[in-house]
Amino acid sequence: MKIYIGSDHRGVKIKKKIIKYLQENELDVMDIGLENNPADDYPKFAFKLGEMVRDNKGSLGILICGSGVGMSIAANKVKGIRCVRAVSVDDAFKGKNHNGANVIALGSEVTTDFNLVKEIIDTFITTKAPCEERHLKRVQAIRMYEDGCYEY
């Protein structure tokens, strides 16, 4: 499984630590390759990573900004992306297992304990996609809405 990672300027330091951690655990991780500078805007990172995850079936994404909120909002604008802002292991688990998240957004200024960051990422990567009927039904409703076919 390929894991794409991207951050704005506020997440560069933790992004580098996450890349090293994932590579040490023999995971296939790829920085999305956009340059960072103090004036960069998070949407371009979220859109590019979202498109890469969408276009590479079975892949996952990790986004980092100051709070994780902006990246999550922007990533969720990419059709086919379900991004969860995670500040806990439970957020990562439920985001993927209940909601079919394929991208996780972290806040470099929110979750500062790197051991917790590793736990959140490990949970996100290893958690299975939704399999309970009620969760599958909800994710399907989201897909239908994206395609313009959802009826209330």
Q: Which amino acids are annotated catalytic?
A: 65, 98
Burial call 82-106: b when 16+ CB within 10 Å, e when fewer: bbbbbbebebbbbbbbbbbbbbbbb
Instruction: Give the C-alpha separation, 87 to 121, whole Å.
Output: 10
CB 40 within 8 Å of CB 24: no
β-bridge mates for residue 23, sequence order:
none
The pair of three-digit structure tokens given for residue 13, joined into one six-digit string = 């330091």
